[in-house]
């Protein structure tokens, strides 16, 4: 099982785009996305210093554009990607890269959204002096308790020993004076408290714009930052990306879902290294590949071929799949069992896991073609549950 991941803000380094721009196709595509975003990505990816590319409104479009264009370098024929990739995920703004790569939204839509996202988050950050501090090591429960005690938010939970606290600068100073035991604090050079309530004004702005964005069901499973669930409804993908601006990134739960999927290989899009580093510590035995420069492309393709397998939920022009969002036991809804045509939004059942119970709905509705599971079956994340012919297609 192959999972492709896209990094978030902070992964960028001065000049990282330089070797990629030697390819004229890559350069032309970056220039196009620069035009869409209204940001000179070539300049910022080659000549700008660390302070310039640290700015939220610069870093975010730079990361998304790089990931999308590098994906076309890795898979010149996109159909090859969907025959190999089992799931995609993106850390924070990387979710936009993942959504566009999975064809839930277009590359141009992703660039408009990331432009507005970056600008809105920068404005929100300027309203109140806020920041973020990485907490490395320590007992997880003690770390989370200390963060809560100081009124902070665990804005990023990246797995064992890696939590990021966020809040006002005064709260962070108090936290530094009273840290959790056996933990090391590392203040992050960011503009504000991302993924907290301080970013709610940016959520409202992006939500208004998102009403005009046309979406499609992704061509492969998307693992959501919010709770690690598999999302296979385009509208829900976009809704989660918008809300996630002011909600914690639960990368730890994304890693759990990758393990449940049976991941054997994780490839990180450029600028790579952060997420593969986390995966090496959290998912023992899983191979990783950090794609940093274009001279690695042949090896990256070989890595994808080694770990890739047929995608069970690729969309079709004549029918839709309802898939499981998580691992657990499927409980069939009696209402759905008795119907041959399901109205849009019908609850088809629940997935019960050790963590919680998740309701599963048929987002599009339509005529039941076949049930692919039975009541009481154990299911895995992304497993097809039901095949439907959308209304109006038959």
Residue 10 backbone zone (phi > 0: left; psi -120 to 50: alpha; other: beta): left
Other Cβ atoms less than 10 A from the Cβ of 365: the count is: 16
**34/56 Cα distance (integer angstroms):** 16
Largest CA distance in the chain: 66
**31/53 Cα distance (integer angstroms):** 17
Helix 107-127 vs helix 56-74: angle between axes, to the nearest 10 degrees? 160
CA 58 to chain centre: 19
Q: Report helix, strand or coil for 135.
A: strand
Contact status, residue 263 vs residue 275, Cβ threshold 8 Å: no
Q: Report helix, strand or coil for 145.
A: helix
Q: Report helix, strand or coil for 249.
A: strand
Of the candidates 91, 150, 195, 205, the residue annotated as catalytic is: 195
Show the tokens assigned to 37: 């975003």
Is 195 annotated in the active site?
yes
Of the candidates 34, 91, 92, 364, the residue annotated as catalytic is: 92
What ranges make up the beta strands (E) of the chain? Answer: 2-6, 85-90, 130-137, 153-157, 162-168, 183-187, 221-223, 230-231, 265-268, 287-290, 320-323, 328-332, 341-342, 346-352, 357-362, 366-371, 378-379, 384-389
Query: Residue 22 carries which DSSP code?
Result: G
Enumerate the active-site residues: 92, 195
């Amino acid at each position: 099982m192959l999972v492709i991941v896209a990094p978030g803000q902070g992964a960028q380094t001065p000049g990282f785009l330089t070797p990629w721009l030697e390819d004229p196709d890559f350069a032309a595509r970056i220039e196009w996305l620069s035009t869409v975003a209204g940001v000179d990505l070539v300049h910022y990816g080659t000549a700008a210093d660390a302070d310039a590319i640290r700015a939220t409104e610069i870093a975010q479009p730079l990361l998304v554009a790089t990931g999308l264009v590098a994906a076309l370098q890795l898979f010149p024929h996109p159909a090859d990607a969907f025959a190999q990739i089992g799931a995609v995920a993106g850390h924070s703004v990387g979710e936009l890269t993942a959504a566009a790569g999975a064809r839930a939204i277009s590359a141009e839509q992703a660039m408009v959204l990331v432009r507005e996202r970056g600008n809105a988050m920068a404005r929100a950050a300027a309203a109140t002096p806020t920041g973020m501090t990485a907490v490395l090591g320590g007992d997880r429960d003690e770390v989370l308790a200390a963060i809560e005690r100081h009124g902070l938010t665990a804005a990023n939970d990246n797995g064992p020993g890696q939590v990021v606290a966020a809040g006002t600068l005064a709260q962070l100073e108090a936290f530094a004076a009273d840290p959790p035991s056996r933990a090391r604090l590392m203040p992050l050079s960011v503009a504000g408290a991302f993924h907290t309530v301080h970013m709610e004004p940016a959520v409202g702005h992006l939500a208004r714009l998102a009403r005009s964005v046309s979406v499609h069901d992704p061509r492969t499973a998307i693992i959501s930052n919010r709770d690690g669930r598999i999302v296979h409804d385009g509208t829900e993908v976009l809704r989660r990306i918008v809300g996630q601006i002011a909600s914690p990134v639960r990368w730890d739960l994304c890693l759990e879902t990758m393990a449940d999927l049976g991941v054997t290989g994780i490839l990180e899009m450029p600028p790579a290294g952060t997420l593969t580093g986390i995966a090496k510590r959290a998912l023992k035995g899983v191979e990783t590949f950090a794609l940093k420069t274009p001279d690695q492309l042949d090896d990256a393709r070989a890595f994808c071929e080694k770990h890739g397998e047929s995608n069970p939920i690729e969309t079709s022009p004549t029918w839709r799949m309802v898939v499981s969002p998580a691992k657990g036991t499927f409980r069939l809804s009696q209402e759905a069992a008795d119907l041959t045509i399901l109205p849009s939004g019908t609850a088809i059942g629940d997935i019960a896991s050790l963590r919680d119970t998740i309701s599963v709905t048929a987002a599009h509705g339509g005529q039941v073609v076949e049930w692919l599971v039975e009541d009481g079956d154990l299911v895995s994340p992304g497993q097809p549950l039901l095949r439907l012919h959308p209304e109006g297609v038959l």
